[in-house]
Amino acid sequence: MSELPQQPYFLRALYEWCVDCGYTPHIAVRVDARCKVPAAYVKDGQIVLNIGPNAVRNLLIDNDWVSFSARFGGVAQDIQVPVANVLSIYARETGEGMAFSQADTAAVAQDAAIADQPQPETTTDPTRPKGRPTLRVVK
């Protein structure tokens, strides 16, 4: 029996922590062909998404996908992102959260590929998101 990946559990836990503390959870995502995100907002192959309860509807974080509906430029869109493509989750207000190593995301991607379908090629050295937020280890 294969071991379940930890990343989706961390995503759900840190999302709940952010919401309970009154923070706004954001995820940084590596965009590839499997991601359904608005292309106009993708920068350097990545996108940062606000997944707070006031910004999205029907948020679902399962073991394979993060999916929800959100408005971009006033237009409602359905967003679908493989858990393997989530690079980090953090609170916008404090920058606290968790970044996932390439080994973590590769393990989740490998499990998804075995369970569902072949995994398309991904870059081994994605650029890190630039900007103000910083991540700290949450203990």
- Residue 133 domain-assigned (yes or no): no
Q: Report the CATH number at residue 110.
A: 2.30.30.220
Domain that holds residue 74: 7-115
- Residue 123 domain-assigned (yes or no): no
- Give the strand order in the sheet containing 97-99: 46-50, 25-30, 86-91, 97-99
- Residue 67 domain-assigned (yes or no): yes
Domain count, the chain: 1
The pTM score is 0.72
pLDDT tens-digit profile of 100-118?
986 545 555 555 554 445 4
Task: Give the tokens for residue 64.
Answer: 């394979």
Point out which residues pair with 88 in neighbouring strands: 28, 99
Look at residue 74 in the predicted model and tell me its pLDDT: 92
Residues in contact with 111: Cβ distance below 8 Å, sequence separation at least 6, in sequence order: 2, 4, 5
pLDDT at 77 > cutoff 90: yes
- Residue 131 domain-assigned (yes or no): no
* 73-81: average pLDDT: 94
Question: What letters, b where the CB count within 10 A reaches 16 and e where it falls short, cover 53-71?
Answer: eeebeebebebbbbbbebe
pLDDT tens-digit profile of 9-64?
999 999 999 999 999 999 999 999 999 999 999 999 999 999 999 999 999 999 99
Helix axes 102-115, 7-20, angle to 10 degrees: 120
Confidence bin at 3 (pLDDT 50/70/90): confident
- Residue 137 domain-assigned (yes or no): no
- Residue 72 domain-assigned (yes or no): yes
Look at residue 109 in the predicted model and tell me its pLDDT: 53
- Residue 136 domain-assigned (yes or no): no
- Residue 68 domain-assigned (yes or no): yes
